[in-house]
Amino acid sequence: MSIEFKNVSYIYSPGSPLEQKGLDQVSFKIKENSFTALIGHTGSGKSTLMQHFNALLKPTEGEITIAGYTINKDTSNKNLKQLRKNVSLVFQFPESQLFENTVLADIAFGPKNFGYSEDEAKELALKWLKKVGLDETVAERSPFELSGGQMRRIAIAGVMAYEPAILCLDEPAAGLDPRGRKEMLELFKEYQESGHTVILVTHNMDDVADYADDVLVMEGGKLIKHATPKEVFADASWLTAHHLGSPTAAKFAQKLAQKGLQLDDEVLTLNELTQALKAKMKAGEA
């Protein structure tokens, strides 16, 4: 399922003293099955954009085509259930939304809500409990007895259990330790590779380099770049001008270049950095 925005603008509280532009003439197309990173400063419009993916917000102007729906300012709130099943949004700290008495019931809630039978929902809940790296032994426990990291996994399992075609996540790994962060991102990568579209709002440029194949860069409600990670990170002066960072490996390669060791390829990930350094060493240049 591809996603297309055509000249989408969104204004908060129009006509009031609190009027504020959230999105400004945003146009792009995301291909089905992509892993798209959505980056930009605080207040650049990422959350506002994300909330348009399943019509939680509707454009003040312009039009969105997504999952067989066309959404514009006149779209009714009725009949959006199929859209919400196909396009799921996971907001920051989703564990704050847990509410059932047991872990299994919490994960099964989403599938049941979207029409799966009790047994199917339970089966899906067990499957996704394991997929997010938790043991079956926690299934009958209260989610509130578990650690913050485990609660996060349960909340995310609850969304992935009904297997939305498009999964949008706002900083899903915020506050997790490096291992938890990696496991979580690997889970989303695997989800994309099994035929889904993933959209990740992140401030972490290493995650963009490691996992995304497509990047949307927001600034002041406008889309200022839509390109591959390689293209986005290629122009260090453009990044600096827009107060955006680079991945750690790219920063390291820049430091090496300042010290006179110019790597042959533009490196973005640790793996690419290792390969480029090995090539230099083989050539006797490092």
Of the candidate residues 48, 54, 88, 202, the single one contacting ligand ATP (CB under 6 A): 48
Of positions 15, 16, 42, 135, contacts ligand ATP by CB under 6 A: 42
| C-alpha pair distances (Å), 91 with each of 68, 202, 222, 247, 266 | 23, 12, 21, 24, 33
Under a CB-based contact definition with an 8 Å cutoff, are residues 35 and 166 in contact? no
- Binding ligand ATP (rule: CB under 6 A), the pick from 6, 9, 28, 43 is 43
The answer to whether 86 contacts ligand ATP (rule: CB under 6 A) is no
Q: Cα separation of 237 and 239, whole Å? A: 5
Question: What is the identity of the amino acid at 206?
Answer: D
Choice from 8, 40, 146, 249 touching ligand ATP (CB under 6 A)? 40
- Residue 238, number of CB atoms within 10 A of its CB: 14
Residue nearer to ligand ATP on the CB measure, 34 or 44: 44
Restricting to residues 7-26, which ones interact with ligand ATP according to CB under 6 A?
12-13, 20, 22
Rank residues 56 and 286 by Cβ distance to ligand ATP and give the closer one: 56
Closest separation in Å from C-beta 167 to ligand ATP: 18
State how far the alpha carbon of 22 is from the alpha carbons of 39, 155, 177, 199, in Å. Answer: 15, 28, 32, 19
Provide the 10 A C-beta neighbour count for residue 141.
14
Exactly one of 34, 36, 47, 204 binds ligand ATP (CB under 6 A); which one?
A: 47
Nearer to ligand ATP, 19 or 285 (CB): 19
- Sign of the dihedral defined by the CA atoms of residues 104, 107, 110, 114, in that order: negative
Q: Cβ atoms within 10 A of the Cβ of 134, count?
A: 18
Give how many residues touch ligand ATP by CB under 6 A: 12
Rounded CA separation 167/211 (Å): 14
Cα separation, 220 vs 19, whole angstroms: 15
CA distance from start to end of the chain: 47
Amino acid, single-letter form, for residue 230: K
Nearer to ligand ATP, 85 or 225 (CB): 225
Stretch that binds ligand ATP, among 44-52, 62-70, 110-118, 229-237 (CB under 6 A): 44-52
46 contributes a contact to ligand ATP by CB under 6 A? yes
Task: Tell me whether residue 57 or residue 263 sits nearer to ligand ATP (CB atom).
Answer: 57
52 near ligand ATP, judged by CB under 6 A: no
Task: Name the segment binding ligand ATP (CB under 6 A); options: 37-45, 181-189, 237-245, 262-270.
Answer: 37-45
Closer CB to ligand ATP, residue 46 or residue 153?
46
Q: Which of 1, 8, 39, 44 binds ligand ATP (CB under 6 A)?
A: 44
Q: Where are the beta strands (DSSP E) in the chain?
A: 3-12, 20-30, 35-40, 61-66, 69-71, 87-90, 166-170, 197-201, 214-219, 222-227
The footprint of ligand ATP (CB under 6 A) covers: 12-13, 20, 22, 40, 42-48
